[in-house]
Amino acid sequence: MSEPVTALQGASFDGFARVREIGPLGMITLRAKAGTKGLDKAVKAALGLALPAPRRMVWEGPAGTGRGIGWMGPDEFLLVLPHADLPAALAALEAGLQGSHYLAVDVSDARCVFRIEGETADQVLRKLMPVDFDRLEPGELRRSRAAQVPAAIWAGEGGYTLVAFRSVAGYVMGLLSHSAQPGSELN
């Protein structure tokens, strides 16, 4: 079995904020309506975490490390975990949701993940996303867009995490790097 690699092999940029690609991370898209029989127990067995409230991201430890689950919509959750733990998590979901209507898919290789860090990290994203960052709370997950591509973000531990499709990883890194250029801070 080959080792997982990130789209940009750990690219980074240091400007007025630090931008870096992180990973590889394990990611599972879980589609199931809240209240689906066995959903709570299956997620608990797969991650050791409870289902999050709407628009929230819940972490096992400090935000962005270890295992997490985010509410992506009324019937969609994003599970984040160490890449090596994917097979066990998928098996736990299958066992816990057997007989229920659901879909659990490994989307790890279809996503890119970036960290934007520093005291002015929000300024990098304010230029790119139609999000009210003054009201974005730690642990809140927001689906939006970065320039012209779909993206999800959450705040925590000194910065933001941004998830997008792997096919646009180079474009997103270019957007983030350009937006973090020294001298382009928002005043």
Q: What tens-digit pLDDT sequence spans the chain (187 residues)?
A: 578 999 999 999 999 999 999 989 999 999 999 899 999 999 999 999 999 999 999 998 766 568 999 999 999 999 999 999 999 999 999 999 999 999 999 999 999 999 999 999 999 999 999 999 999 998 999 999 999 999 999 998 889 999 999 999 999 999 999 999 999 999 8
CA distance 67 to 117: 20
Length of the chain: 187
pTM, 2 dp:
0.94
And the tokens for 7? 């789209």
Task: Decide: 43 and 36 in contact? Cβ < 8 Å.
Answer: no
Of 111, 115, 49, 47, the residue nearest 81 (C-alpha): 47
